Amino acid sequence: MRDQLLKLKEEVLKQLKECADNADIEKVRIQCLGKKGDLTAILRSMGGLSEEERPEIGKLANEVRAIIEEEMKVIKEKINSLEASKKVKSEVLDITMPGRIPEIGRRHPLLQAKEELESVFMRMGYDVVSGPEIETVANNFDDLNAPYDHPSRDWSDTFYISDDLILRTHTSPVQVRTMREAVKENKLPVRAVCTGRTFRFDDVDDTHSPMFHQMECIVVDKGVTLANLKDSIDQFVKELFGNNVTTRFRPHNFPFTEPSAEVDVSCHICMGKGCSSCRGTGWSMELLGCGMIHPNVLRNCGIDPEIYSGYAFGMGIDRVTMVKYGIPNIRLLFENDVRFLKQF
């Protein structure tokens, strides 16, 4: 019986070595350890052994079983890992094939820029305010101190709805509305930014559109100075164009500010060295207009210019957007060709 056991052991170990997959092992297991298996049969026949032999053979039989089981485990693991690696191999993908992109829409580039500007100013403490596209002549011109014979009031410059109503020609009337409301609700000081549509009697060409967009900021408080205005604009320009950009304040004229200035930003192409796009000046022209709010305007809004001062600055958004994205023609902004919109 002892020999039988040892022989069985050798045989089973040999069979196990030949196993190719888990099914083979299972077959071997059943044949050897199963209810009707060879080892089980041997164990069953132990009843015929003598008292002395029984423990010895029993011990041996258990050892054989342990060895076989251990070997079976090792072989199984080997096969499993082999199969796993085979499976992995069969699952290898060409990861350079295209992904399935869920469709993501896009914000219109102009409105994206508009909102970015608003965000910059919100971080700087400006509230976002708005006003109607159809404005009163009073808000758009009169109260902003525009001379009564100013050409911008002409029918050839401004769209009229009635003698007293127009399509706003700039976002500045929102200044008037904001200041009046602040006075009415006792909410001075004011820090506000407004962006929106504006309209002028311009035929459509590569750089003109009868509808365009502006951004406007105002600050009214006690002790606000031109030095503060310069600082705000410096901050804003750096925020918008990065730290490498420099600005230049040139005196200018707007009816609603006094003093007034225009701000040039160093040419984005030559970084201020002078090139053909900036006509050799190193400055890209007229990023924005600004100034200290004209005392007449403050008075028109019910604010005493002896106590309060303020500044305002504004700029066109369309041109900044076009420069930012390299868009050569303003028409593209309003055509809304999906292939255009997809690019931003």
Partner 1 sequence: MLVPIKWMKQYVEINTDDKTLADKLTLTGSHVDAVIDYEKKVTNVVTGKILEIEKHPNADKLIVTQIDINKDEPVQIITGAKNVNVGDVVPVCLEGAELPNGLKIKKSNFRGLPSYGMMCSYEELGFDDKVIPKEARDGIAILPPDTELGKDIKDVLELDGSALEVEVTFNRPDCLNIVGMARETAATLGTKFKFPEIEIKNEQGDIKEYLNGVEIEDEDLCSRFYAKVIKDIKIGPSPLWMQRTLMDAGMRPINNIVDVTNFVMLELGQPLHAYNLEALSGRKLIARRAKQDEKIVTIDQNERSLSDRMLVIADSEKPACIAGVMGGYYSEINDDTKIMVLESANFNPKSIRETSKKLGMRSEASARNEKPMGYVMVELANKRACQLIEMIGAGTVVGGYLEAGRSEYEAPVVTLRPHRVPWLLGVDIPVDDMLKYLNLLEIESTFDGEKIISKIPYFRTDIEQEADLIEEVGRLYVFENIESAPLLGSTRVGRKSDKRNLEDYIKTILCGIGLYEITTYSFISPKSYDNICVSSDSPLRNYVRILNPLGEDFSSMRTTLVPNMMEVISRNSNRGVDNAKLFEIGSIFIPKEQPVVNEPHEKIKLCIGMYGNYDFFDLKGIIEAVLSRLGIKVSLKPVTDNPSFHPGRTAAMYVNDDLLGIYGEMSMEAAGNYGIDHKVYAAEIDIEKLLEHKDTNWKYEPLPKYPAMVRDIAVIVKDEILAGEMIETIEAVNPHLIESVELFDVYKGEHVREGYKSTAFSVTYRNKERTLTEKEIESIHKKILEQLERKYEAKLRM
For the segment 1-60, give every residue that binds partner 1 (CB under 8 A): none
The neighbouring-strand residues paired with 311 are 219, 292
Q: Using CB under 8 A, pick the residue from 125, 206, 302, 329 that binds partner 1.
A: 125
Q: How far is the CB of 330 from partner 1 (least distance, A)?
A: 12
Residues numbered 83 to 112 that lie near partner 1 (CB under 8 A) are 102-108, 110-111
Q: Using CB under 8 A, pick the residue from 279, 302, 304, 343 that binds partner 1.
A: 279
Dist. CA 254–CA 324, nearest whole Å: 27
Q: How far is the CB of 321 from partner 1 (least distance, A)?
A: 11
Q: How far is the CB of 12 from partner 1 (least distance, A)?
A: 49
Question: 90: Cβ–Cβ under 8 A, 6 or more apart, which residues?
Answer: none
Q: Using CB under 8 A, pick the residue from 124, 240, 275, 323 that binds partner 1.
A: 124
Q: Is the distance from CB of 111 to CB of 186 less than 8 angstroms? A: no
Residues numbered 140 to 179 that lie near partner 1 (CB under 8 A) are 149-151, 154-156, 159-162, 164-165, 167
Residues numbered 200 to 239 that lie near partner 1 (CB under 8 A) are 201, 203, 210-211, 219, 221, 223-228, 230-232, 234
Dist. CA 29–CA 40, nearest whole Å: 11
Cis, bond preceding 259 (omega within 30 deg of 0): yes
Dist. CA 233–CA 256, nearest whole Å: 18
Stretch that binds partner 1, among 5-13, 80-88, 265-273, 277-285 (CB under 8 A): 277-285
Q: How far is the CB of 229 from partner 1 (least distance, A)?
A: 8
Stretch that binds partner 1, among 9-17, 30-38, 39-47, 332-340 (CB under 8 A): 332-340
Question: 120: Cβ–Cβ under 8 A, 6 or more apart, which residues?
Answer: 236, 239, 240
Q: How far is the CB of 268 from partner 1 (least distance, A)?
A: 18
Q: How far is the CB of 157 from partner 1 (least distance, A)?
A: 10
Q: Which is nearer to partner 1, 76 or 200 (CB)?
A: 200
Stretch that binds partner 1, among 34-42, 60-68, 84-92, 133-141 (CB under 8 A): 133-141
**Which long-range contacts (C-beta less than 8 Å, at least 24 apart) are formed by 21-28?**
21/79, 21/83, 22/76, 22/79, 22/80, 22/83, 25/72, 25/75, 25/76, 25/79, 28/72
- Phi, then psi, of 125 in degrees rounded to 5: 95, 15
Residues numbered 245 to 274 that lie near partner 1 (CB under 8 A) are 248-253, 258-262
Does the protein bind partner 1 through residue 324 (CB under 8 A)? no
- Phi, then psi, of 103 in degrees rounded to 5: -70, 125
Exposure string for 299-315, b = 16+ CB within 10 A, e = fewer: ebbebeeeebbbbbbbb
Size of the residue set binding partner 1 (CB under 8 A): 89
Q: Is the distance from CB of 284 to CB of 270 less than 8 angstroms? A: no
Q: Which is nearer to partner 1, 48 or 99 (CB)?
A: 99
Residues numbered 293 to 312 that lie near partner 1 (CB under 8 A) are 294-295, 305, 309
Q: Which is nearer to partner 1, 106 or 184 (CB)?
A: 106
Residues numbered 64 to 83 that lie near partner 1 (CB under 8 A) are none
Neighbours of 12 (CB within 10 A): 24
The annotation status of 216 as a binding-site residue, yes or no, is no
User: Which is nearest to 122 in space by CA: 202, 217, 209?
Assistant: 217
Binding residues for Mg(2+): 258
